[in-house]
Each structure stands twice: as structure tokens, then as C-alpha cells.
Amino acid sequence: MDESLKAVYTAILDGQHKASAGAVQASLDSGVAPAAILNEGMVAAMAEVGRLFEEGEYFVPEMLIAARAMQSGLAVLKPHLVEANIQSVGKVAIGTVKGDLHDIGKNLVAMMLEGAAFEIIDLGSDVSPEKFVEAVKNSGAQVIAMSALLTTTMPNMKTTIEALKAAGVRDQVKVMIGGAPVTQKYAEDIGADGYSQDASKAVALARSLVG
Ligand code: B12
């Protein structure tokens, strides 16, 4: 791995948020592609954090400080991932489902969609089905994007789709879902309109849903 990418990876793994921002900037300055910094440095570090947590070497506080370091690195990277586009191609209301506080993946998807000229309504994390329904009714979103990182909160994607149906707005909106435990099969099972594995594929998916 490139030395500057290694510094990004290590800063996030060790939860050093100032070092993370500095290392991302240094990588950019030395000409590393933003997508490589994101995927090989940052996302890889978060995957390792997850592995260490699973093995009982990291606990919630370590995950939290790693997440904070990820976020400060992302703030530096964002302008390089998001090109300026002027005309909105569609409106997406995005949120992490009820009971789930993981928002890094959701924020990345929002960032990439914004860069592809989608208008984003960010509902945050721990978003109830009612809040998603409200967003469809009040904001004119054409797409709902739901994120879940826990196997225990994934079913809230289904609950949200049911709430959209009960409110009579399911056919006004497309639903796309994602997050580490989510699969294409799960999307089909719960009647979502699309699934994608990562943030860049989410852009192509959103385009196809509004197109
Ligand atoms: C950071 C982290 C935390 C942080 C979150 C901080 C934050 N602001 O987000 C904190 C410390 C709060 C946390 C808490 C917990 N966590 Co946690 N966490 C993680 C960790 C290490 C990284 C997640 C992450 O940010 N990844 C990086 C991003 C970029 O990846 P991503 O989210 O997958 O997103 C990408 C794709 O999935 C996709 N995507 C994501 N969303 C969407 C949406 C759409 C529409 C689309 C199309 C695509 C898409 O695109 C993204 C970019 O490419 C994971 C480990 C892992 N391997 O995922 C565990 C993990 C998710 N956590 C886990 C657990 C158990 C917990 C806790 C229950 C721990 C506890 N005992 O309290 C709590 C639950 C809190 C809650 N109610 O939500 C488990 C889940 C196990 C399971 N099977 O359910 C994991 C897998 C760790 C592990 N290996 O055991 N966690």
C-alpha cells in the first residue's frame, strides 16, 4: 500500500481524528486518487475496526473514535468526491432506519448522490417509518434511500415499506436500500425497487430509478 494511504488507514484504525484529516490531505497532495483514498484507506480501515470489534479486541469506544476519525477524513475528501453539478436530476430522501445509529455509509451515499446532482433530504439516523412517510408526502422526494448496518434493524426497512403502502404513497416513490448486512435478495423479498453494495453504485441505481 502507498505510504500516504497507509497513514490514512492507520489514523482511522487508531481513532486519531486530526491525523486522519492531515493524512487524507497529504494523500491528495501527493496525487493519490480520491476513490483510492476512500476505498483502500478509509473504508478498509473501518472494515478492520469491525473485525477487531468482532474478535473482542475493540469495544464500542474504539469504534466511536474510529468513526470520528473517518468523519474528519471524509470532510477533507468530500469536495474531491463531489463535483459541482448545477441542475437537480431528482430528489432523494435518505436516512438510517429506526434503531440504527450508523451513519457513515449513509452519509457517503448522500455525498455521492449530491455529487451526481441529486437534491438530498437527509433525515439522519434512527429514522422512523412515519418520518419516511412524511418526507414522501411533504418534500416530493422521488426516491427513498434507506441504510441499515445491524441485522436487528434491517427489518425496519420492511416496516417502512409497509408504512408507505398503508399511507397510500408507495406508488409515488421508489425505494432503494443498502448497508453491510443488506443483500439483493433481501431487497427483492421486502419489495424494494433496488439495492446497491456501495456508494458509487448507488448513484447509477438512483439514476435508473428516476430515469
Ligand atoms: C463505526 C461503527 C459503529 C459506530 C457508528 C458511528 C457512526 N456515526 O456511524 C458506533 C460505535 C456508534 C457503533 C455502534 C454499534 N455497533 Co457498530 N459498527 C461500526 C463499524 C466498525 C463500521 C461501520 C461503517 O461506518 N463502515 C464504513 C461504511 C462506509 O460502510 P457501510 O456503512 O457498510 O456503507 C457502505 C455500503 O454498505 C453502502 N450503503 C450503506 N448504506 C446504504 C444505503 C443505500 C440506500 C445504499 C444504496 C447503499 C448503502 O454504501 C456505503 C459506502 O460504500 C461496523 C463494522 C462493519 N464491518 O461494518 C460495526 C457494526 C456494524 N456494528 C455492530 C454492532 C454490534 C454495534 C452495536 C450493537 C454495538 C454495541 N454493543 O453497542 C452498536 C449499535 C448502535 C446502534 N443502535 O446503531 C456490528 C453489527 C453486527 C450485526 N450483524 O448486526 C458490526 C458489523 C461490527 C461487528 N463486526 O460485529 N458502531
Tell me the average confidence (pLDDT) per consecutive run of 10 residues in the chain, 211 residues long.
93 97 97 93 93 95 94 93 73 98 95 86 98 95 98 98 98 98 98 95 94 83
25, 34 Cβ separation under 8 angstroms: no
- Cα angle 109, 193, 174; round to 5: 75
Pairing of strands 118-127, 174-178: unpaired
Q: Domains (ranges, CATH) in the chain?
A: 3-83 (1.10.1240.10), 91-210 (3.40.50.280)
From 12, 60, 102, 208, the mutation candidate for ligand 1 (largest count of ligand atoms within 8 A of CB) is 102
160, 180 Cβ separation under 8 angstroms: no
Share of the chain above pLDDT 90, in %: 86
133-150 pLDDT, tens per residue?
A: 999 999 989 999 999 999
Question: Using CA atoms, how far apart are residues 122 and 132, in angstroms rounded to an integer?
Answer: 11
For the entire predicted model, the pTM comes to: 0.92
Dist. CA 74 → ligand 1 center (Å): 16
Dist. CA 102 → ligand 1 center (Å): 5
Question: Where does ligand 1 bind, in terms of residues with CB under 6 Å?
Answer: 43, 46-47, 49-50, 53-54, 60, 63-64, 67, 99-106, 108-109, 145-147, 149-152, 176-181, 196, 198-199, 202
173, 141 Cβ separation under 8 angstroms: yes
Q: Which of 110, 109, 107, 111 is nearest to 81 (CA)?
A: 111
40-51 pLDDT, tens per residue?
A: 999 999 999 999
From 149, 152, 156, the mutation candidate for ligand 1 (largest count of ligand atoms within 8 A of CB) is 149
Q: Which residue has the cell 414522501?
A: 136
Dist. CA 29 → ligand 1 center (Å): 30
